[in-house]
Every structure is written in structure tokens, then in C-alpha cells.
Chain A
Amino acid sequence: MIEELINKSSAYYCVECRKCSSICPVTRVYGKFSPASIVERALIGIEDEVLKTGDIWKCLSCGLCHMICPSGVDFLSFIRELRNIARENGNVGITTHEGIFESMPKLLLENDIEVEWMKNAEIDDDSDVLYFAGCLPFFDVMFKEVGFDGKKIAESTVSILNKYGIKPSVIYGCCGHDAFWNGDENLFNSIVKKNMKKVREKNASKIIFSCPECYSIFKKYYPEIDAELMHISEFMARQEIKGEENGEEYTFHDSCRLGKHLGIYNEPRDVLKKVGIDIKEMEHNREMAVCCGTSTWMSCDWKSEEIRKGRIEEALKVADAMITTCPKCQIHFKCTLSHENKKLEVKDFVEVIAERIK
């Protein structure tokens, strides 16, 4: 099985240059972890060492290694498929929050999330535009104490669409991103089946996402959908925007999914600029941006904290407020900030835009 994935991911092209390990954010804080070493061990056939250790769960699937590899090794699909095999053999990694977000999607296969959130925005169940709001209602409950407001993100997204004459229908639920990247293929396929049915029933011509993870998984790994899929920043980039110059300075944190996975760097920046925000870039920005330190609710530990602290330091060098498009990045930064003696305001892209467009 490993041989097959070595072929599929072009891992046999690895020239052991170790550029992947030199750029990996996990390796930077924990030298014993090395993407190169995982590939090399697989190539020389030490299957057990690869599949039975926790190393494969430490990868953030941020994509920096994939981007820098001179041989074109697709490390992202390599690690994901390794996780598929490891999971089948009982190595399931260590989840955060007692596995609540790994288990909850199982309940969502038979049940739908129902919340009365849109009191300050207008929706229409028969709309031609669908907004897929993801797991925001659950995050809203879990992370209130660190200052995360999932409702505000969903409401802001809908109110932005309202301002352009669109009353969207809204679906909440799991997109399957974490099941996919954690190698739980059966669960992922079941989630896809359910979501495809719901999306087809809506018969929308446009599906809007505020969460980069939902967007990337729908765009890259779902079967073809007869609708235009777009992130809210892409939608906004096509609109006429009237904002006011106000001299506000923010830095922008590129989420791995919207950035390295989908290559969307300009749209959010252009839109923020149009509403009068001055973006102060961090040292590592766009494709070189460093991950928030935790992915797919796995392995959040001191390594994740160190990565986050580094990113917060980087942000504070240029601004005292940060904008991100990813709810999970926001949660992770706010979590670290809640116990660090540092002041950095973290806001979602849609919150900032909704407050400023006229």
C-alpha cells in the first residue's frame, strides 16, 4: 500500500535535499520531526516506523514543504494517505478537545444544525445563492471564553451579501475537511454524500464560503457541483466597494487553506484596501506565511503554542491588530493570547468588511 502512495505522490523523486524540513514550522520548534525523514523512511521500506509513530500526526498539512520541494513531491497527499493507512491499523493520533470535533460529524450525518442566528441579516431559503457556514455554531459554543464569536462571522457574511442585494439561503454543518486530512475516508465520503444531497436540493447557482477549510475541501475534493464556488473575498473582489479612508492599520494572516492550498492572496488584501485598511505585512506573508500551529483539531501541544507565539510576535512587530479569514486560526491565536501577556486584536475578514462597507 505504501508503494502505491509513493508512486501517486511522486515521493520517489525525493533527492533528500531536506528543504522541506528546513522550512517546516513544526521542525523549527521540534527538531526531531522531519517531513524529509518520513519520506525517506517510507522509501527505504521501514513501514512500521512510519505508520506506528506519532510523526504523521504532527504534520500541519500547511503545504510549505510541498511548495518548496524542488522535486515536486506531493507531501500533502503523501501524508494524508499515510494517515488513511495508519488509521486502518489503529494509529489514530491524539485529538484535541477530547475528540469532540472528530466525533461530532458522525452525529451530523443524521442530524442538521438548526440555529436562529440571522436576526440582523436577511436570508431566503429559495435563494439562488447559498452560503455554507460550516461548523461556526459549534465553535461559537466551544470558544466563547477566548472571545470567539462564530455568530458574528456568519451574520457578517450574510449582511455583506445583503448589501449587494443578495438574500442567501444558509446551510450549517461539517464539510468533512478534518475527516479528509485525518485519513478518515469512510466518514469523509459519508459527509460528502450528505452535503452533495443538500446542495443539490438547494439548486443554487453560486455557493459562498467564509471558511477557507470548507471552501478548499469543496473546491478540490468534492465531486463536481453545478454551481460557482467562491470565497467571500473573491465575491467581494468583483463588487464595487465604497469604503472610507480611516488610516486603520492591520496585519493579515494568510490561512494555509485559502493561501497555499488555493492560491488566494490578492483578493482579501485588495478588498481590505478598498475599505480603507492599510495592510502591514508580516515578515512571512502570502505563500511564505506560517501556519497558526494546529490543524484538523489534532496534536495541539507546546509545539503548536511555540509556532503561534512566533506568529504573534511577527504580527506585533508591524501592527496591533490582525485579520484572518479562517475561524480556526482566529480561535488558535485567541487561545494563546488568552494566557500570554500580549495584546493583539484578532478579527475575521468578514467582520471587518461588514463594519465598513457602505
Chain B
Amino acid sequence: MSSCPSSAIYHIYDDSILNTKFMTEEISPFDCFNCNYKYIEEGDELIFCIKRFDTGKCIDGLANGMNIVVKKCLFSDEKVEDDEKLYKLRKMLKMIKMEDKIKVE
């Protein structure tokens, strides 16, 4: 079990604990600052946790032909759709007809 939402997602995709920091230090829920999970590349997908969503990285991924998946934070009740950064980016992508390249889960 992971106490950090982002690292939890990391482990779900990795099936292993890669960061020894998590094994030695206690990380509180939503302690995003200390979590080193940023994103996961899986095939042609770039997977973000909404708490660590990086707009620039996301666009660079799109420019390199990747699809984007944004996941809800496991420890948060907030909807991914309510995130301001993501909302703005999707609006911009709509202007260039690329809005379908971002999937929200």
C-alpha cells in the first residue's frame, strides 16, 4: 500500500517500488512536493497524475506523436475535469483540432 497518490499510480504501472525514498521516508497523502512521480511513458501514451500534470511536457509529448492520459489523484475527490490547467490546455488543443489526443480517466 502506498500513502502517496502519485507513487501509488507509479506502482500500479510498474509493479515494483523503484524509489527507495518512499521505503525509508514517510510521505503524507497529497505531499506532491516530495513525490518524485512525474509521468509514465507507456507505449505511445504519456500518463500523468492530475496533481503533477505538466502542460509543457504534455505538449512536447503531443508534438512527438504521443497520446496523453490524465488520471485522477487516488486520494482526491476533485474531478480531473475541474483542473484549470487541463481545462485551458484542452481549450487550446480544441482550436487546433487535437483535443481528442488527451484522455481523462
Contact between B55 and A113, CB atoms less than 8 A apart: no
The residues of A that contact B96 with a CB separation of less than 8 Å are 107-108, 111-114
Whose C-beta in chain A lies nearest to the C-beta of B84? A145
With an 8 A cutoff between CB atoms, is B88 at the interface? yes
| CA gap between A295 and B60 in the complex, in Å | 21
Tell me if B56 and A99 are in contact (CB < 8 A). Answer: yes
In Å, the complex CA distance between A60 and B61 comes to: 29
Number of interface residues of A (CB under 8 A): 21
Select which of A100, A106, A112 is within 8 A of B89 by beta carbon: A100
Residues on A with C-beta less than 8 A from B88 are: 141-142
B97 engages A106 (CB within 8 Å): no
The interface residues of chain A, by DSSP majority, are classed as: helix
Our count of residue pairs bridging A and B at CB distance below 8 angstroms stands at 56
Interface of B is mostly: helix
- Give bound CA distance, A98 to B92, whole Å: 15
- A138 to B95, Cβ gap below 8 A? yes
Interface residue count on the B side (C-beta < 8 Å): 18
- Given A107-B63, A107-B98, A114-B97, the answer on whether A95 and B56 have CB atoms closer than 8 Å is yes
Question: Are the CB atoms of A107 and B62 closer together than 8 Å?
Answer: yes
Q: Which of A103, A138, A141 contacts B56 (CB 8 A)?
A: A103
B19-55 interface (Cβ within 8 A of A): 54-55
Chain A residues with Cβ below 8 Å from B62 are: 107
Query: Is A348 an interface position by the 8 A CB rule?
Result: no
Chain B nearest CB: distance from A235 CB in Å? 27
| A64-105 interface code vs B (CB 8 A; 1 in, 0 out) | 000000000000000000000000000000010111101110
Tell me if A141 and B97 are in contact (CB < 8 A): no
Chain B nearest CB, measured from A304 CB (Å): 19
A104 to B62, CA, bound (A): 10
Top 8 closest pairs, chain A to chain B, by CB = A99-B56, A103-B59, A106-B63, A111-B96, A98-B55, A98-B56, A100-B55, A141-B91
Q: Which residues does A use to contact B, with CB under 8 Å?
A: 95, 97-100, 102-104, 106-109, 111-115, 137-138, 141-142
Interface residues of B (CB under 8 A from A): 54-57, 59-60, 62-63, 85, 88-89, 91-93, 95-98
